Chain A
């Protein structure tokens, strides 16, 4: 069973608010990822990290930012939420240097900005 957790599961927030989506894993994985997914659509990589103090932007441009101060923790922050940020955000992690191991996903955060 995957040990990767996201909080909150659901969040409804007003425009202009600052929000942080939490993601933690207890598997000791170096690599962590944030994907954005609109309902019924594909997942788009918005951020990833190879390890502590390493963060990179993904394929889809995002106004969010991430940090990786601890191996197990990879929070995503939106400084000023807008309705266009309404989406599902999925956090994932995987082992380093293992081509054939799957990425483990959290349960996702469904964000609605009103």
Chain B
């Protein structure tokens, strides 16, 4: 069964606007971690932000913030003040405590930032 669901295959956003990328997850582990990665067209995976299941506050890293709603099992990524260089594929991923470090990925959301 799919454990990470990203329902938005693609999004357009104007430069300087904020964009929210949706991610819902499914796990019965009480301890887990949620990650967001960016994949530009060059193919490498760039780590953006992490949220632990026991973290009380939403994670933030510069222009990236995570809207973590544990009861709804959602971990949406917010990119503020979008830049042209933000155009990329964005993946949500989860690591469960009993998974020996393995990351499970969603299908990704393609973001295109327009001038």
Interface residues of A, Cβ cutoff 8 Å to B: 31, 33, 35, 40-45, 48, 50, 58-59, 88, 90, 92, 94, 96, 99-100, 102-108, 110
Contacts and interface: CB of A to CB of B under 8 A. Distances in A.
B45 A42 contact: no
Contact of B97 (A40, A99, A110): A99
15 contacts: A31-B100, A33-B103, A35-B105, A40-B89, A40-B108, A42-B105, A42-B106, A45-B103, A92-B45, A94-B101, A96-B101, A99-B33, A99-B95, A100-B33, A106-B44
Q: Pick from B32, B89, B101 the residue with the most CB of A within 10 Å.
A: B101
Interface residues of B, number: 26
B57 interface: no
Given A92-B45, A108-B43, A45 B102 contact: yes
A103 B52 contact: no
B65 interface: no
B24 interface: no
